[in-house]
Structures are given as C-alpha cells and as structure tokens.
Chain A
C-alpha cells in the first residue's frame, strides 16, 4: 500500500482514497519477492524459529503493509499452534502480535492441564542498511514481550516469572548469485533472554535466573523467486532444574507463489521439552501479506 503525498484538493483526495483502496487489494508493497521472510513462531518476521533483520511483508520506504500467519508444529509429544499478525511502516518499524498454544498431547492427562499458552507483543526497528543493496547488509533491533496465560505448570517446575522480554539484534544479508548462481540469504541474531522454551515454561528458573546471550543463525537459498530452501539453528538457555532444555533446529522449504501468499514447510527438532526427549516433527505455516 502506497502513501500518496503531495496531492491536495478534495477531488484529488477522493481519487487518492479510491486509488489507495484498490491498490490495497492488489499490491502488498514494492520490496522484491520473498525478501520479507516469513513469520516466526514468535510473530516477528524471519524464518520459522529465528527472527531476521528484515521487516514483515513487502512495504518499502513509502509504503505500509503487513502479514497474517497461522502455523503449526507437530512434534512427538506436543503440538504448537501460532496465530500471528504484523504491520510494517515504511520498512522502518514492525509491530507484531502472536499467540502461542502448546498442546500437551502426552503429558496432559498426567498434569491435569491440556495446554500452555502465551501472548507475544513484538516490535522491530530497522537500524540501517538494506538486505539486498547494502554491502554490510541490514541491521535491526527488536523486543519481544511475552506474557504467560497458563502459569501453573511453569511455576510448579521452577519458573520465576510469568512474563519476560527478549531483546535481540539481527543482521541479514542477501548475496546475489552466491551458490550455483542462486541468491543466498544469511542471518545472525543475538538474543538476550530469560525465557524457558521460548517462554512457554515461563521466565528464569532455579538453575539460572539471569539474562543470557543466545546466538541464532539461519541461511536460505533462493532457488528462484518463488522457492527458498534453508536451515536454522537457535541456541537456548537452560534455566530449569527439572529437565534440560536443548537448542532448536529446523530445515525449511518456502513457496512464495505471489507476494500475497507464502507457504512454509519444515522439519524441526526441538530437543528435550519438559523431560520428553528428542521432540521432532513437521512444521507448516501459511502467511498472507497485505
């Protein structure tokens, strides 16, 4: 969606409004295909697990836009559902919201609870650079404020707080014609966090209660402008004594048939969750851009 600066007078204003409303349907923004990434499980633009420095959707510097996303990860003993939305103003600021629901498929009966849930309010600002056009890539800083909705279980296993705020610095750069003449997108994110299992098991714990710096990386190869394959790695804290927490991995394929739609399929390994080891399974995410 484009702003129409510089138009004055009532007739022109009406015309501009009409133009804006039609372009709203037709045109999610001017940044090139697939360069907005997809939506992470925490609502910020990125891959599936790792936020990138790119901002949601396709808005460029005179535009605004956004995304809506539904995702599901089905690992051995848990199912994670995510609903998220993000808006992007002028490719400068991204504001996002996401709700995560972790279904306790196996543990539910034992614990007397069906699910864990949290809301995540995110903001990301592009500091400088452009993922495509800058030699030094694009750099962004972000916050993810997370609020537990079902704190009984996290508290019982030793979590200190039912809310927490992650802060992260991200760098992303696309190298044109880098591998087999395909464009390669690489990302690195440094996150300060106290979250247990991303916050689904609360914040801080008996083993550690301080912020720690975690490294998260990902790389994606654009086979053409509609297909990306890649992988991600996310380092995690290990704050709770009752069960170890592992780093996360995934390998993904993204199909971007059009700027308005992306479909992400991944195979993810979430490691040990609440004492149940080797949680692996498929991930699917549908994203619409406007």
Chain B
C-alpha cells in the first residue's frame, strides 16, 4: 500500500515534469516517432508503472525501487531502443535482474501491461510490434537470473 501511494504521488509529480524533460530531436527513426518521441514514451512508461503496481503477479518485484529513477531509466531505454536520441543510464540489464529470478509468468505479465499501456496511449499495432521485436531481445538478460 505504501508502495502504491508513493508511486502515485511520484508519478503525478513526474507527469508535471515530463514536459520539461523532453528533448527536441532531429532523429528520423520511424519507430521513435510513432511512439510519440520521448514525451510519448514517458507517458507509456508512466501508465505502465501504474499498471505494474496494480498487478499482483509482478508488483512485488518492483517494491523498493526509486520510482522517478526507474521511470527515467526505462523511458530512456525505450527511447534509445526505438532509435531516439537518448542513452540508457541505468545498470546493465543482467546486473539489474540478478537474484530477482524473474519467471516467464512475470515476463509475460510485464509484456501484457506494456501492450495495454501502448494501446491506452494510441500506439498503432505496427509500432507496438516493432517495439516488441526489439524488446524481446532483452528476454535472456531479464529472466531466470
């Protein structure tokens, strides 16, 4: 419950700050554009975090995280993966997930919530699929560690 309230407060703050943090870009990458550039990605990640907190399959895996930092890191990561002008500043994925023992069920649950978050943000099926195509490359770095 503490996690959830804390998350909501922090995310509300984030929502106000997101606009200021957005960088203009000259990148021509279609996927990054289709995701709504960094601002669009930040909105998707914010919705994703709300969904994670409500999802009993995975919420516990995110307990104790620095929500603002997590939001920034995941937004930068998706921005970079989609071809945007960002650099993921977090720790390597294998290191982050060491000893978390992320199961297939949990990975699937997160994928589901990401798809739903993208749908809620009006991301086209085409852009969803292209992002998933790149994100599933991370599967071996995340699960069973």
Contacts and interface: CB of A to CB of B under 8 A. Distances in A.
B105 A176 contact: no
Contacts of A225: 115, 125
B145 interface: no
Given A32-B111, A181-B130, A2 B105 contact: yes
B108 A62 contact: no
B132 interface: yes
A177 B127 CA distance: 9
25 contacts: A2-B105, A30-B104, A30-B108, A30-B109, A32-B108, A32-B111, A32-B115, A60-B105, A60-B108, A61-B103, A61-B104, A61-B105, A62-B103, A62-B104, A62-B105, A91-B104, A133-B139, A176-B130, A176-B132, A177-B130, A181-B129, A182-B125, A182-B129, A183-B129, A224-B125
How would you classify the secondary structure of chain A's contact residues: helix, strand, loop or mixed?
A: loop
A32 B125 CA distance: 14
A132 B133 CA distance: 9
A63 B105 contact: yes
Contacts of B125: 181-182, 223-225
Interface of B: 57, 103-105, 107-109, 111-112, 115, 125-127, 129-130, 132-133, 136, 139
A91 B139 CA distance: 17
A30 B112 contact: yes
B18 to A, nearest CB: 27
Contacts of B112: 30, 32
Interface residues of A, number: 21
Contacts of B104: 30, 60-62, 91, 130
A31 interface: yes
B49 to A, nearest CB: 19
Given A61-B103, A181-B126, A176 B133 contact: yes
Interface in A179-235: 180-183, 223-225
A30 B102 CA distance: 14
Contacts, number: 55
Interface of A: 2, 30-32, 60-63, 91, 130, 132-133, 176-177, 180-183, 223-225
A60 B109 CA distance: 10
Contacts of A30: 57, 104-105, 108-109, 112
A2 B133 CA distance: 27
B87 to A, nearest CB: 24
A121 B63 CA distance: 45
Q: Which of A2, A180, A225 has the most CB of B within 10 A?
A: A225
Contacts of B136: 132-133, 176
A130 B127 CA distance: 22
Nearest to B129: A177
B112 to A, nearest CB: 6
A224 B132 CA distance: 13
Given A133-B107, A177-B132, 12 more contacts: A30-B109, A32-B108, A32-B111, A32-B112, A32-B115, A62-B104, A62-B105, A91-B104, A182-B126, A182-B129, A183-B129, A225-B115
The 7 residue pairs across chains A and B that have the minimum distance between CB atoms: A176-B133, A181-B126, A60-B105, A177-B129, A61-B104, A133-B139, A30-B108
Nearest to B124: A181
Contacts of A181: 125-127, 129-130
Contacts of B126: 177, 180-182
Nearest to A175: B133
